[in-house]
A and B are shown apart, each in its own frame.
Chain A
Amino acid sequence: MKKKLGVFICWCGSNIASSVDVDKAVAEAEKLDGVVHAENYMYMCSDPGQQLVKDTIAEKGLEGVVVACCSPRMHENTFRKAAGSVGLNSYLLEIANIREQCSWVHQNNKPLATAKAVSIIEGTLDKVKENLPLETITIDITKRNCVVGGGIAGIMAALDLANAGYDVAIIEKEPAIGGHMSQIGQTFPYFHNVPELLQKKIDEVNAHPRIKVYLNSEVEVLDGYVGNFNVTIRTKPAFVDPDKCSACGKCLEVCPVSVADEFNRGLSQRGAIFRYNQTEGARIPVLEQRDCLHFVDVEEAEMDAGAGVRCRACVEACPENAIDLGAIRTLSEEFVGAIVMATGYDLYSPAKMPEYGAGKIPDVIDALAFERLLDPKGPTGGQVLRPSDGKVPKNVVFIQCVGSRDPERHKAYCSRACCMYTAKQARLYRQQVAEGTAYISYMDIRSDSRDFEEFVQAGMEEENLVYIRGRVAKVIQENGFLKVFTSDTLTSRQLEIEADLVVLAMAMEPKAGTRELAKKMNVTIDGDAFLSETHIKLYPVESSTKGVYLAGCGQSPKDITDTVSQALATAGKIQLMFSNETLIADPLIAEVKNDICSGCGICIDICPYGARLMNDFTRISDVNQAVCQGCGACIAACPNKACELINSTSRQFIRMIGDFAGKAEAV
């Protein structure tokens, strides 16, 4: 039986009507097979326009509709909703794009543009004739979360989600949560005490019944899809049993190993067994297998099996018998509906700046190392002392934009937080060393948030910070001093500054391993390996994979304020998703004709979303309806033509092509 079809042609003001003769198009459309109604209107997407479509569907009992207007990306949803509201199945309405694909590109030839518009309408009508009425697909949601990264972004997102009533698993690579924020003493622009702020949040996390923290852990495998992820978590061997350990510290004293302490940025030494940092959460020592003499010369594979026979000093020293060098790594699983990627940043390696002597000259340090000098629990007890001889530095040169804004050799981007933390560090230094001078080498000062400009100004006026605009050429060591060669580009003078300490505000880059992790999570990254959001303006916390969200510096460099804002936005987005009982997905996806599929599996390899799976029982390739995005890759790849895209079948397309090609010939 023939469907009763309707055609609605939009003028789009003059966008379409100036190059397509819309009256002629209506006259032509009326002649087409099955069409019982055709008309045009100035703005079909307006309320009266939509009403026109709705009324006509109801009056004439239309069974298929073509709206000839702009791209379906603009208003397909609008018109499908309108059709649905009067009882026509939404999937029986199609858009014929006669604006982007016709009127805009053929502005100087009205007869030809009109003929093309009619053939687009005709082809679309042929598609609608064979369209099936469809229902949306519903997907169950596991209302639990996994947060990858326990820095301030991960902590804040996890707390909001947990307080909203959803379980959260935090996966943290290091032995304690807190991230880089736990290395910092005070914040800008109000000199808040970070340990106090952060400890409160860490305590909340640890006490929260809905939050589980996996320390020393990383994501091993991610399976599943939005609403239904399965995260496999790998946890390093727990050599020290936290239930037995009394945190007496005897093991720390006997460990013969001495290596640079990463948390203190190399300003102090630690053993192979050590306290990760001075926070409450890190009282139980951890043992780093890489550094431990017990495991010397043991292959990684053997490490997993708990091999190794040598040094056992810590085991023998432990009065509680809490150390087990035979511990092995563990794997755990979490089933979650949403994932937050809060993977954070590393500072770009100062070793990449040989002209500044970093790595060679002990008194050239990076900004996080300077933060460690300011920390009362840090290696110098909060005194700014230079690493080489422990003296109070009288002249400190802070260099901004080191590795940032240098597209030729390093990173092209601005690392955003450095202007402000450098001002903060210089002010704190001046507050501590009254007779000292702080020089700041800068390119521009970017102080573009609440009270930021005032904070920098106060530094210049009250703490007499010496700002010098220019890029430092090099730093050398001479007679126990550092010599900083730079220029003041505001007065066009070359300067040589004698300094006791140089602090490099290194560029921020994505945490090491972000690239590999992003691959596991199927999340796209940019050229610098920062995690990409779907749309910088409208979808700023959504990753390219549905159900995986972004927060913090893994997405781009930012300060604590912005990181927390983004983390809370992410938590909000996930709560929005969890406010539904099920997820709704478009049914325009691939389907398999079971009697034709030979189970060759080509579609499984070709599917970019992992939506095709071999059914072990039937030996036929199934489509995971929740994951399939309807891209059509499997349809093109199937040698038997056993796959079809629902409502975009080969038959429909061949007909449409026939319509277009036929018209083209006539012209």
Chain B
Amino acid sequence: MGETFSYYPGCTSHSTAIEYIEASKAVIEALGIELKELPDWCCCGAASAHNLSSSLALGLSAFNVGEAHKEGKDLVIPCAGCYGNLAQADYVMRYDEAERQRLEKQMGFKFDTEVKMLSLVDLLAREELRPAIKNLVKKPLKGLKVVCYYGCAIVRPAAITGVDNSENPLRIDTMMADLGAEVIDWSCKVDCCGGDLGLTDAEKTTELVNKIVDYAVAAEADCLVTSCALCEANVDIRQQRLPILYFTELMAEAFQIGDRQRWWKKHFNDPSGLF
């Protein structure tokens, strides 16, 4: 393809979601797409900044968006939380002239309307990539029953994320079907995994996670597929019934690339038996 994108790793890529990043990079490389890490990225503010100060939250994200505008290329953000924050800052600057001018001055960059914020799903679920993805499949995921779980940050609010249908998104479903998996329609695609409550209210989080897993099991899924590191962590840690996988891990499995055995070990519910 020969495309080049800027890349914002975020903190999970160095910690809880190493397998996600490794798998994603392997898939992206296989598709001939080049990612160039932003030279001077910083924390997106995560879930903490906006609880302390809205201007801090906007400022941190706007700084990172600004770094991407300096590079002049669309920015790929694998972490759903980082994506949500940066997309929010992008939205504010795109539609609020005064804020944009203030932030441009403060961060020292010029906002370029052509530069877009992309989640990893935005990058890989593009219609034009479908033939290339199908071509790369060496071992179709035949017989693997998956439910796709989108969580919140990459789909909502719809005005900011611009997804197909924020109550019934289909893009990961389509990708999984292209890999040969049996995609099951189910009821909890965009339900809450508990998010940061995982740190402060374990009981509530377990309740929410159990509901999601109940429905996935009732739908007779072999595994749950996600694109968010926090969803993966919450749902994987708090139950022993269902393996949780990142969508790029399944792509890598179908492509038969990358150090997959190493990734499987990073999961609490071992998925190696599925393949």
Contact = CB atoms under 8 A, between A and B. Distances in A.
Interface of A: 353-355, 408-409, 474, 476, 478
Contact of A474 (B157, B159, B166, B187): B187
B158 A474 contact: no
16 contacts: A353-B167, A354-B165, A354-B167, A354-B168, A355-B167, A355-B168, A408-B157, A408-B158, A408-B159, A409-B158, A409-B166, A409-B167, A474-B167, A474-B187, A476-B187, A478-B218
Contacts of A474: 167, 187
Contacts of B157: 408
B124 to A, nearest CB: 23
Nearest to A355: B167
Given A354-B165, A354-B167, A408-B157, 13 more contacts: A353-B167, A354-B168, A355-B167, A355-B168, A408-B158, A408-B159, A409-B158, A409-B166, A409-B167, A474-B167, A474-B187, A476-B187, A478-B218
Contacts of B166: 409
Contacts of A478: 218
Contacts of B167: 353-355, 409, 474
Nearest to B218: A478
Contacts, number: 16
Nearest to B186: A476
Interface string B140-178: 000000000000000001110000011110000000000
Contacts of A353: 167
A51 B167 CA distance: 69
Nearest to A354: B168
Nearest to A360: B185
A515 to B, nearest CB: 23
A409 B155 CA distance: 12
A353 B167 CA distance: 8
A355 B159 CA distance: 18
Interface in B206-234: 218
Contacts of A408: 157-159
B55 to A, nearest CB: 24
A157 to B, nearest CB: 40
Contacts of A354: 165, 167-168
Nearest to A352: B165
A409 B159 CA distance: 8
B220 to A, nearest CB: 14
A353 B158 CA distance: 14
A408 B158 CA distance: 7
Contacts of B218: 478
Nearest to B192: A473
A354 B169 CA distance: 10
Contacts of B165: 354
Task: Name the residue in A353, A354, A476 with the highest tally of chain B Cβ atoms < 10 Å from its Cβ.
Answer: A354
A256 B158 CA distance: 45
B194 to A, nearest CB: 13
A589 B168 CA distance: 56
B119 to A, nearest CB: 19
A141 to B, nearest CB: 50
Interface string B92-124: 000000000000000000000000000000000
Contacts of B187: 474, 476
Nearest to A353: B167
A342 to B, nearest CB: 34
Closest 6 CB pairs of A and B: A354-B168, A355-B167, A476-B187, A408-B159, A408-B158, A409-B158
Contacts of B168: 354-355
B87 to A, nearest CB: 15
A521 to B, nearest CB: 34
Contacts of B159: 408
A478 B168 CA distance: 18
A313 B158 CA distance: 52
A408 B187 CA distance: 22
B235 to A, nearest CB: 18
A408 B159 CA distance: 6
A355 B218 CA distance: 18
A354 B173 CA distance: 15
Interface in B180-199: 187
A409 B162 CA distance: 10
A494 to B, nearest CB: 10
A219 B87 CA distance: 47
B92 to A, nearest CB: 16
Nearest to A357: B187
A474 B189 CA distance: 11
A409 B160 CA distance: 12
Contacts of B158: 408-409
B205 to A, nearest CB: 14
A409 B157 CA distance: 10
Nearest to A409: B158
A474 B190 CA distance: 10
Nearest to B170: A354
Contacts of A409: 158, 166-167
A478 to B, nearest CB: 8
A478 B187 CA distance: 10
B91 to A, nearest CB: 12
B218 to A, nearest CB: 8
A51 to B, nearest CB: 53
A485 B187 CA distance: 11
A476 B158 CA distance: 22
A355 B166 CA distance: 10
A14 B135 CA distance: 81
Nearest to B215: A476
A355 B169 CA distance: 10
A478 B218 CA distance: 10
A476 B218 CA distance: 13
A24 to B, nearest CB: 43
A397 to B, nearest CB: 16
A478 B214 CA distance: 12
A476 B187 CA distance: 7
A361 B165 CA distance: 19
A474 B188 CA distance: 9
A267 to B, nearest CB: 25
B157 to A, nearest CB: 6
A169 to B, nearest CB: 44
B94 to A, nearest CB: 16
B73 to A, nearest CB: 29
A99 B229 CA distance: 65
A353 B166 CA distance: 11
B195 to A, nearest CB: 16
A595 to B, nearest CB: 54
A496 to B, nearest CB: 10
A353 B165 CA distance: 10
A648 to B, nearest CB: 39
A355 B157 CA distance: 16
Contacts of A355: 167-168
Nearest to A407: B159
A428 B11 CA distance: 58
B190 to A, nearest CB: 8
A348 to B, nearest CB: 15
Nearest to B185: A360
A409 B167 CA distance: 10
Interface in B76-95: none
